[in-house]
Amino acid sequence: MTRLHVFISYRQTSNYEGFASYQRPLKEQYLQMLLTNTLSNTFYASSQSLLRDAHNLHLTMSQHDPDYTARALVYARQKGLMRAQPLLGLAYLNAADPKAFERIFAQVVLTPNDLYDVVTTLRSGKLPRGYTRRAKRAATAWLQTLSEYHAIKYSKKLCEVLRQTHPKPNSARQSALFTWIDDPQAWRNACHDELTPQIAAFETFKAAAKARDEARMIAAIREGKLPHDVVTGALPPSTAVWHALLNNLPYLALLRHLNTLQRVEVLNTRARFIANRLSDVEAMHKARVLPFQILQAYRAFRAENTRQEVIYSALESVIDSACDNLPPLAGRVCIAPDISGSMLGSAQGSMTRYIDIAGLFAAALLRLSSDALVLPFNHAVAKITLDRHASVLYNTEAIAAHCNGGTALSAPISALIAARQVVDTFIGITDNEEWGVDSYGNHGFWQTWQTYKKQVAPHAKAFLLTLAPYNHAVAPAKAQDVYFIYGWSEQVLSYISLMSAGMHHQLDE
pLDDT one-digit tens code per residue, 284-334: 999 989 888 999 999 999 999 999 999 999 999 999 998 887 888 889 999
Please report the DSSP string for 276-298 in residue order. Answer: HHHT-HHHHHHTT--HHHHHHHH
Would you state the pLDDT for residue 480? 86
Q: What is the pLDDT of residue 349?
A: 58
For the chain, percent of residues with pLDDT exceeding 90: 73
**What mean pLDDT do residues 130-159 have?**
96
Per-residue pLDDT, averaged over 35-61, amounts to 84
| Whole-number Cα distances in Å, 205 to 86, 227, 502 | 36, 12, 57
**Would you state the pLDDT for residue 12?**
67
Q: How many CA atoms lie within 13 A of 308 on its CB side?
A: 15
Residue 7 has pLDDT above 70, yes or no: no
User: CB-based contacts of 346: which residues, under 8 Å, 6+ apart?
Assistant: 40, 41, 42, 43, 352, 353
Q: Which conformational region is residue 280 in: left (phi greater than 0), alpha (psi within -120 to 50 degrees), or beta?
A: beta
pLDDT (tens digit per residue) in 197-225: 999 999 999 999 999 999 999 999 999 99
Instruction: Give the model's pLDDT for residue 8.
Output: 37
Average pLDDT over residues 458-463: 95
pLDDT value at position 433? 87
pLDDT of residue 6: 36
pLDDT for residue 107: 98
In 3-state terms, what secondary structure has residue 19?
A: coil
Average pLDDT, the chain: 91
- Residues ≥6 apart with Cβ < 8 Å to 219: 204
d(C-alpha 436, C-alpha 101), whole Å: 44
Query: In this structure, how many other beta carbons lie within 10 angstroms of the beta carbon of residue 57?
Result: 25
Q: What pLDDT shows up at residue 491?
A: 79
More confident residue, 64 or 370: 64
CA–CA distance, 10 with 80 (Å, rounded to integer): 25
Query: Which pTM value belongs to this model?
Result: 0.89
> Mean pLDDT over residues 119-140, rounded?
94
pLDDT of residue 134: 95
Q: What is the pLDDT of residue 14?
A: 81
pLDDT digit string, tens, across residues 399-408: 999 999 999 9
pLDDT at 151: 96
Residue 9 has pLDDT above 50, yes or no: no
Domains of the chain: 2-80+82-143 (no CATH), 251-325 (no CATH), 329-500 (3.40.50.410)
Q: pLDDT confidence of 465, banded at 50, 70, 90?
A: very high
Q: Is the model's pLDDT at 415 over the cut of 60?
A: yes
User: What percent of the chain shows pLDDT beyond 70?
Assistant: 95
Q: Are 489 and 290 in contact, with CB atoms under 8 Å apart?
A: yes
Q: What is the CA radius of gyration of the chain?
A: 25
Cβ contacts of residue 5 below 8 Å, gap of 6+? Answer: none
In this predicted structure, the answer to whether residue 504 has a pLDDT above a threshold of 70 is no
pLDDT range class, residue 352, cuts 50, 70, 90: confident
Q: Hey, which of 109-113, 475-479, 503-507 has the most confident mean pLDDT?
A: 109-113
Task: Identify which has the larger pLDDT, 489 or 264.
Answer: 264
Mean pLDDT of 190-198: 93
Task: Report d(CA 91, CA 97) in Å as an integer.
Answer: 10
Does residue 5 surpass a pLDDT of 70? no
What is the average per-residue pLDDT within 84-88?
Answer: 95
Could you give the 3-state DSSP secondary structure of residue 219?
Answer: helix
* pLDDT for position 2: 34
> What band does 478 get if pLDDT is binned at 50, 70 and 90?
confident
Pairing of strands 425-430, 461-466: parallel
The arithmetic mean of pLDDT across residues 27-35, rounded, is 93
